[in-house]
Chains A and B, each alone.
Chain A
Amino acid sequence: MTTVEKAPPVSQREVGLLRRPRATTGFASWLTTVDHKKIGILYVCTALVFFVLGGVEALLIRLQLFGPNGTVLTAGQYNQMFTMHGTTMVFLVGMPIAIGLGNYFVPLQIGARDVAFPRINMFGYWVVLLGGIFMYSSFFLGGAPDGGWFGYTPLTSAPLDSGFLPGRGPDFWTMGLILLGVGSTTSAINFIVTCINMRCPGMSLLRMPVFTWMMLVIAFLTLFAIPPVTVALTMVFFDRNFGTLFFDPAAGGDPLLYQHLFWIFGHPEVYILILPGMGIVSETLPVFSRKPLFGYAIVVFSGIAIGFLGWGVWAHHMFVTGLGPVAISAFGLATMLIAIPTGVKIFNWLGTVWGGSVRLTTSMLFSLGFIAMFTIGGLSGVMHSVVPADTQQTDTYFVVAHFHYVLFGGLILALFAGFYYWYPKVFGRMLDERMGKLNFWTMFIGFNLTFAPMHFLGLWGQPRRTYRYDEGLGWETLNQLVTVGSFIIAFSVLVFIVNAVVSKSRGQVAGDDPWDGRTLEWSISSPPPEYNFAEVPEVHSRDDFWHRKYTEDDEGRLVPLPSGGAEAHAAAGHDGHGIHLPSPSYFPLVTALGLPILGYAAVFQNVWIALLGAVVLLYGIYAWAIEPAD
């Protein structure tokens, strides 16, 4: 049986006040683990909880807008709802799920035993969880953020007593996002170092699976996108609390500076959200079509191109702010350009499916749904880039339709494709396919019912971020349809949750390679052993695992190889004895705990809390520094 040498003598030493944790199962192990797979699970589960929270906020929004003059929420509550909905979905759902899946599968796909910095990895997770809790605690501490998910100044930056926004919301918002930024930056660094330094022998960059590639690209985007927004948020916080005048127009401050800083972050951010999704379907489509990805290199390069171009288009969120015709023409053109690399991907995915042997599993349905729905969202994006048209569309439900088609129809559908695809690997059991089909079709129908009518509502004049609308504007029917659709989505999410919970203990046992997979994660057992690979693999080609199973005849048709596959490989390996793994640690948690405490101190301007936070933080760092890394 597998035994893992866990604790070399040196790490049994006590550090500071805390005994070195050693549990590898049970509750404590989840607090102290440094195993990238456990951290990945934590990320995804946490993000799913936030998804339900953000979803419930969305449902409240929809109930309020079911008819004219809704009375479910007050104006102030409504503003909190859409702000928290957007903020949650972007920062606490989209990013953490991608980071979670990346955490779990990037090391497996590149044949590594762990990420480069296991403890920093855990630290990043805690910061995200605590940052989310910090932001949500504002509901009980004087009002949740209510300045919108991009928090335009001077609405958000005016001091509390200006009366522009009631409550402490923007303080929690700025501090919370700065915290989450710390978390994302650390995981970005971790991903980059892992992808660059930890690949197994033979895993050249152009053999990396596309999902891993996209995680690498978004890690770079994150690394460079977070600082500008951190600076913008810092300025807002200082304006509100320390009397600086960065965005005070009466003192000469310029609200456009904020918008530039925010969107220099904000646009790359939306590609941070979508690229992992594109990575996922680049994994699932070949597997379920039994064909290699059509044009691997160009799919990878277009992903990189999207990453680069994403830096040059931010002002398309500012077409009506009065930048002048030359600037907006340039930004409009640059924005259109992004359709080219994206289109390349779409067509290459179709080329992958074309002529394949397509298995319409739930995961495949979600992937195909992604292609179709994302394209619709992309096309409305191109309509936005047609600047004169955007002057009608911006800040209306047309934009809301656009970004839900790319975010839900793109990101969320792709993530569900990923869930159904990888669940067997993570838990060793299949998700139920019948519930899966129900999940897909209700989600697909509900999604279109929810977001398609929004295109028309926007063009017919309904502005976004409005807690009520007048009777007689002709928006009633479609808004009702939208609300009904949103509840169908909620039902489908419920189906998924039930499926995930039930299948974990009762699902059909998966085996190592249930889908006839192509990448290294399918070459090991499900769930994978703690050390991932008994023997560090050596790869000889792209989709190396596939080529251990199949070869091609002269006409390019598949020919199975007699030996090969997971079993054969595992038998050749050894039992994992003697593989040294990094030991768990409390200090990522302790260190991360210091940050929200400092956040509260900043929001409430309390020196004592600040002192407490600083002590916790410094203790965490100190103990971490002297604790042996393994």
Chain B
Amino acid sequence: MAIIEQTDLTPAPPSPPEPGHDHGGHGGPGPSAALTNPKLAMWLFLASDCLFFGAFISAYLLYRGREQDGPTPRELFDIPFTSATSFILLMSSLGMVLALAAIQRGDHRRFRLWIMATALFGATFVAGQIFEFTEFSRKGLSLDTNLFGSSFFVLTGFHGAHVCMGILWLLSLWGMSTQGRLGPEKAESVEIAGLYWHFVDVVWIVIFTVIYLMPQPGT
């Protein structure tokens, strides 16, 4: 989805528009925009996505402590471990910032370094999540065990899917850079990928707080 967002807007015509021959459809002479089309679109998408996670989080909160049988969160959570992977995800946002700064300077080597680091941090987080999921299921928690299983796996699973999409996106930016297709005029597409990536990060902070840090019911 996000890639689609980003490509339509390539504001760069091969040659600067001649006076009077304005560029059809794109960046027409409108009221000067505070946000370019693609960036505005990304913000809107993220606003919508907020509600998507918001609804899942509400469901999780509603069902907290309602598990009838099967393991409970308290028996399963390994807070230090999850904190560590969460920290790695947070650090990836730093990588994203550095990558963006690099591409804006036109420094492709640094850009590739940092974008790859960001993707790898993200992948580490996903790996941690997969490990956690297998661990939980080994201890007897799956989607159909109890309401905790259902709401936990679906919420964190959808977040994981968002991270995976982000990783793919970062990798394709990396690929474009290696092929020299990521000129300076495309720095904005990196910025947009960054918006998405930071958003996914921030959402995780909320999810992590809600699921792991809030005192479990009954404690």
Contacts and interface: CB of A to CB of B under 8 A. Distances in A.
B219 interface: no
A253 interface: yes
Given A198-B30, A244-B143, A227 B18 contact: no
B30 A199 contact: yes
A121 to B, nearest CB: 9
Nearest to B10: A629
Contacts of B4: 119-120, 123, 591, 621, 624-625
B31 A536 contact: no
Given A189-B44, A227-B49, A579-B24, A197 B37 contact: yes
A252 B172 CA distance: 44
Contacts of A238: 143, 150, 154
Contacts of B172: 625
* Interface residues on chain B, size class: 35 or more
A228 B29 CA distance: 36
B150 A8 contact: no
Interface string A192-207: 1100111111011000
Interface in A179-222: 185, 188-190, 192-193, 196-201, 203-204
Interface in A224-244: 224, 226-228, 230-232, 234-235, 238, 242-244
Contacts of A559: none
B151 interface: yes
A223 B51 CA distance: 9
B7 interface: yes
Interface stretch (B55-63, B88-96, B130-138): B55-63
Contact of B48 (A227, A254, A591): A227
Interface in B18-49: 18, 20-31, 33, 35-37, 40-41, 44-45, 47-49
Nearest to A117: B8
Contacts of A199: 30-31
Contacts of A117: 5, 8-9, 37, 41
Contact of B3 (A118, A246, A624): A624
B28 A200 contact: yes
B68 A582 contact: no
A185 B44 CA distance: 10
B146 interface: yes
B67 interface: yes
A230 B52 contact: yes
Contacts of B54: 227
A180 to B, nearest CB: 15
A197 B25 contact: no
Interface in B106-161: 142-144, 146-147, 149-151, 153-154
Contacts of A251: 68, 146-147
B14 interface: yes
B17 interface: yes
Interface residues of A, number: 66
A118 B154 contact: no
Contacts of B144: 242-245
B147 A252 contact: yes
B105 interface: no
B31 A120 contact: no
Interface stretch (A108-116, A160-168, A350-358): A108-116
B25 A10 contact: no
B74 interface: no
B103 to A, nearest CB: 17
B144 to A, nearest CB: 3
A118 to B, nearest CB: 6
B143 A581 contact: no
A261 B54 CA distance: 11
Interface in A309-336: none
B163 to A, nearest CB: 17
A630 B52 contact: no
Contact of B14 (A8, A115, A536): A8
A223 B63 contact: no
Most A-side CB within 10 Å, residue of B4, B54, B56: B4
Nearest to B7: A625
A541 to B, nearest CB: 16
17 contacts: A10-B14, A114-B24, A116-B37, A193-B44, A223-B47, A227-B50, A227-B51, A242-B143, A245-B146, A536-B22, A536-B29, A578-B18, A579-B22, A580-B21, A581-B25, A591-B4, A625-B3
Given A204-B31, A227-B55, A252-B146, 11 more contacts: A113-B28, A116-B9, A118-B25, A188-B44, A192-B40, A201-B31, A227-B50, A227-B52, A242-B143, A257-B62, A536-B22
The 6 closest A-B pairs by CB, nearest first: A114-B25, A243-B144, A244-B150, A227-B51, A231-B55, A227-B52
